[in-house]
Chain A
Amino acid sequence: MRLAVEKRETTSQAFRFFSPFAAVLLSLLFGAAFLWASGLNPLKVYSTMWWGAFGDAYGVSETFVTAIPIMLCALGIALAAKMLLWNVGAEGQFHMGAFAAASVALSMPKAPAWQVLPLMAMAGMAGGAIWALIPGIPRAYLGVNEIITTLMLNYVAIYWVEYLVHGPWRDPGSLNFPLSAPFSDAARLPALFGSRVHAGILFALVAAAAIFVVLSRTKWGYEITVIGENPKAARYAGMNIERNVVLVMCLAGALAGLAGMAEVSAIAGRMTRQLSPGYGYSAIIVAWLAKLNPWAVVIVSVLFGGLLVGGYSAQFIGVSAASVNMLQGLMLFFVLAVEAAGRYRVRVVRQAEAEAEE
């Protein structure tokens, strides 16, 4: 007798809808085991996290604030992943976008908002896009592994920002803290509804809508899907894969760069080295939890924002910041495992059957 793993003919609609929830639930269960083993009460930790993230107006507003950069980064990652392009460099593109936007803000301290904000947004997108093209162009024309190059560039971008805030950009008035001078009020992206939720959420929603329309309604979106599913057939059908790789990387970088612009302008209001607690990495998980669907990215980002904000609250009862990272990794595992469970079923093969198969 042995166990056989067999391919299922079809996966039910209901399964496909519920599988991400099952994955989240399983990772919470496993996370609970870790918490319990380290002497914490998992129920207390989870309820603290839940109330911290969704329990009051402040929590909900923080959850949305945290969701914005993740949403923008994840939309770009999902679009690229549709074409089997692995952009794990959103973290670096985010930092370069913030850097470019901050350059504009710091060099135009007197300009009115209608001038400086659009310029900052454009600079942010350009910064992220250029940072994505450095690995994108070699990937398109030489086949250089983009996973490694995008990841290496994260480190370079973060050291670049550190250099700026410790060196040429350091504000003499910052009491030796690594901070740039504060931006003018005109260079601050406005908040909405009297909360800290800022206009960056509109960028994200517009981007989600645009990506949805492109993927489902345009010839270009069709090309992206075909290239991702069968590059050989796409090449045979005369599609220009190289150009599409460059374009998609450029877009993914621009979205992450825009996230950096929104964060530095609306939240920090100056350049600092602590702009992101790893938004670009969380966005990778969000993109996969959302199965690369732009609207699902929007929803999952908010849940993920809640996870991060809840994680901060949990730190007050002795949970380390790292356990939130652990939980994120677990989620990605269970998304994969549950998805696989949908594609295969395990069957017990009896001796006689096994012999008949031989």
Chain B
Amino acid sequence: MSGGMLISILAAAVSSGTPVLFAALGELVCERAGVLNLGVEGMMLVGAVSGFLATVRTGNIWVGVMAAVAAGGLMGLIHAFMSISLRVNQVVSGLALTLFGTGVSGFLGKSVIGVPLPAQFRAVAIPGLSSIPVLGPILFRHDLMVYLTFILVPALWYLLYRTRPGLHLRAVGESPQTADALGVNVFAIRYVSVIAGGMLAGLGGAYLSMAYAPSWIESMTAGRGWIAVALVIFAVWDPVRAMIGSYLFGGVDALGFRIQVMGSGVSSFFLKMLPYVFTIAVLIIVTATASKRSSRAPEALGLPYERE
């Protein structure tokens, strides 16, 4: 493989990994606060269709982005109400959210199948940085949404580990009783986290339909929401590792696509399986090799909090 081709695959890995990264960061925040959200796939789809619809109607991508964020947040609100207020089983609520999101996005998007997007995100080379050899073309010739993740990841890391709200958020996910006793509002923090998680998943969906593959196709996320959930386990609930994991997934995705285009003789169906097989393999390896201490999920993950 030539150097130029390697660089172009790595650059493709970044853009292919970006929608998953948004969703994974959202899930990470949600799980850090102790709520398991298996509705990411549905949230991404609703975000993708809302962003696309709003952009088609208004011709403005930023309105599209806002619509996707709002729609994802609304889905988050539903999950928050179900799992935090009604204290229902979070697994089933998340599955319901995914089924509902798949249906509702197909329903809403029916009118725009095959419709071109009037405006879309385009690559903007960052002056200076984009001319760094190797790194420049891989990282700094993308669209604004990719650059947004470059800010989001360190910001989230800082929020979680270096600020008071971050400390509270982690406490709520580890031991809601203790946090409550110290005067932290467990319910409020969980609500905010789940809604914020939904907004990020919505952004991930919008990236798919407005930048990565500018179009609306039913179920176009193709399991990326589930891969995002798996990535959070891989990432040991850490934003920086979530970024690495997303690009790894993106790399496998991009590589499969390249091999297909080159006409290697391998059936395209096997190449399409690659990201899923890769995710299963990584999940098994990570779970098997990580020591119990370092790979521990937030203690209260999935457990509804009941004030005594």
Interface residues of A (CB under 8 A from B): 5, 7, 34, 38, 86, 88, 134-135, 138, 142-145, 147-149, 151-153, 155-156, 159-160, 162-163, 166-167, 281, 284-285, 288, 320-330, 332-333, 336-337, 339-341, 343-344
Contact = CB atoms under 8 A, between A and B. Distances in A.
B269 A163 contact: yes
A243 B197 CA distance: 37
Contacts of A145: 230, 233, 283, 287
B152 interface: no
Contacts of A336: 82, 86, 88-89, 92-93, 96
B269 A326 contact: no
Given A149-B280, A328-B99, A329-B102, A340 B287 contact: no
Contacts of B106: 320-322, 325-326
Given A327-B103, A332-B96, A344-B86, 20 more contacts: A145-B233, A147-B91, A148-B226, A149-B284, A152-B223, A153-B276, A155-B223, A155-B276, A156-B276, A159-B270, A160-B269, A162-B269, A285-B99, A322-B107, A323-B107, A329-B101, A329-B103, A333-B93, A336-B82, A340-B87
Contacts of A38: 107
Interface in B84-140: 85-89, 91-93, 95-107, 110
A151 B272 contact: no
Contacts of B230: 145, 148, 152
A31 to B, nearest CB: 10
Given A138-B284, A320-B110, A322-B107, A155 B100 contact: no
A186 B100 CA distance: 41
Contacts of B99: 281, 284-285, 325, 328-329, 332
Interface residues of B, number: 48
Contact of A326 (B89, B93, B104, B277): B104
Contact of A159 (B229, B269, B287): B269
The 9 closest A-B pairs by CB, nearest first: A322-B106, A329-B100, A326-B103, A325-B103, A332-B96, A329-B99, A163-B269, A340-B86, A336-B88
A148 B284 contact: no
A314 to B, nearest CB: 12
Nearest to A151: B226
A159 B272 contact: yes
A152 B226 contact: yes
A339 B96 CA distance: 14
Contacts of B213: none
Of residues A145, A324, A341, which shows the largest number of chain B Cβ atoms within 10 Å of its Cβ?
A145
Contacts of A288: 92
Contacts of A325: 99, 102-103, 106
A329 B103 CA distance: 7
Of residues A7, A152, A326, A339, which shows the largest number of chain B Cβ atoms within 10 Å of its Cβ?
A152
Contacts of A284: 95, 99
B38 A147 contact: yes
B222 interface: yes
Judged by DSSP, the binding face of A is: helix
A146 B84 CA distance: 24
B267 interface: yes
Nearest to B38: A147
Contacts of A149: 280, 283-284
Contact of A333 (B91, B100, B267): B100
A144 B287 contact: yes
A148 B283 contact: yes
A325 B218 CA distance: 12
A166 B269 contact: yes
Nearest to B101: A329
A207 to B, nearest CB: 23
Interface string B225-240: 0110110010000000
15 contacts: A144-B287, A153-B276, A155-B273, A155-B276, A320-B110, A322-B105, A322-B106, A325-B99, A326-B103, A328-B99, A329-B97, A329-B100, A329-B102, A337-B88, A340-B87
Of residues A86, A143, A145, A322, which shows the largest number of chain B Cβ atoms within 10 Å of its Cβ?
A322
Contacts of A330: 100
A88 B95 contact: yes
Nearest to B107: A322
B1 interface: no
Given A144-B287, A148-B229, A155-B276, A333 B223 contact: no
Given A321-B106, A325-B106, A340-B87, A333 B96 contact: yes
